Chains A and B, each alone.
Chain A
Amino acid sequence: MKHLVDIHVDRCIGCTRCMRVCPTEAIRIKNEKALLIKERCIFCGNCILNCHKSAYKVYSDSFANLNKHKVNVVILPSAIYGMTKNMKELGGIYQILYDYGFDEVFDLSGVVELLSQKITEYIKQSDKTYILSQCPTVIRLIQLKYPSLLSNLLPFDFPYEIGAKIARKKLSQKYQIKEEDIGISYISECLSNFIAIKEGLGKKKSNVDYVFLFNDLFRNSIDSDQINTSVAKNGIQFSKAGGFEYLSNKNEVLSVDGVKELDEILERIYLNRLDNVKLVEAYSCIGGCVGGNFTIENTFVAKWKVNQFHQTIDESIEYVNQFRHVLNSRDWMFTSEVEALSPYKLSENINQSIVKMNQINQILKQLPNIDCCACGSPSCRALAEDVVNHEKTLDDCYILKRGDET
Chain B
Amino acid sequence: MNIDFEINIYHEDYHNAGSASSEIKKYLTQLGLNPKFIRKIVISSYEAEMNIVIHSLGGKLKLDIIGNHIILTSIDKGPGIRDIKMALTEGFSTASKKVREMGFGAGMGLPNMKKNSDKFEIKSSPKGTIVRLSWVIE
Contact = CB atoms under 8 A, between A and B. Distances in A.
Interface in A242-278: 267, 270-273
B27 interface: yes
A342 interface: yes
A148 B35 contact: yes
> For chain A, which range describes its interface: under 10, 10 to 19, 20 to 34, or 35 or more residues?
20 to 34
A354 B42 contact: no
Interface string B2-28: 110100000000000010011000110
Given A354-B1, A358-B3, A270 B39 contact: yes
Nearest to B43: A271
Contacts of B1: 351, 354-355, 358
Contact of B35 (A147, A350, A355): A147
B136 interface: no
Given A271-B46, A350-B32, A357 B27 contact: yes
Contact of A346 (B5, B21, B31, B103): B31
A148 B29 contact: no
Contacts, number: 54
Interface in A322-373: 340, 342, 344-348, 350-351, 353-355, 357-358, 361
A339 to B, nearest CB: 11
Given A267-B22, A340-B35, A354 B43 contact: no
Is chain B's interface secondary structure helix, strand, loop, or mixed overall? Answer: helix
A270 to B, nearest CB: 7
Interface string B28-58: 0111110110110011001000000000000
B42 A353 contact: no
B84 interface: no
Contacts of A353: 30-32
B61 to A, nearest CB: 15
A214 B32 CA distance: 39
A270 B33 contact: no
Interface string B61-94: 0000100000000000000000000000000000
Contacts of A345: 29-32
B43 A346 contact: no
Interface residues of B, number: 24
A148 B43 contact: no
Nearest to B40: A148
A357 B30 contact: yes
Contacts of A354: 1-3, 31, 65
Nearest to A273: B103
Nearest to A272: B43
A75 B94 CA distance: 57
B123 to A, nearest CB: 26
B10 to A, nearest CB: 18
B29 A342 contact: yes
A271 B36 CA distance: 12
Interface of A: 145, 147-148, 267, 270-273, 340, 342, 344-348, 350-351, 353-355, 357-358, 361
Given A267-B22, A344-B30, 16 more contacts: A148-B35, A148-B38, A148-B39, A270-B39, A271-B21, A271-B43, A271-B46, A344-B26, A345-B32, A346-B30, A353-B30, A353-B31, A354-B31, A354-B65, A357-B30, A357-B31
Interface of B: 1-3, 5, 18, 21-22, 26-27, 29-33, 35-36, 38-39, 42-43, 46, 65, 103, 137
25 contacts: A148-B35, A148-B36, A148-B38, A148-B39, A267-B18, A270-B43, A271-B46, A273-B103, A340-B35, A344-B26, A344-B29, A344-B30, A345-B31, A346-B30, A347-B32, A350-B33, A351-B1, A353-B32, A354-B3, A354-B65, A355-B1, A357-B27, A357-B31, A358-B3, A361-B5
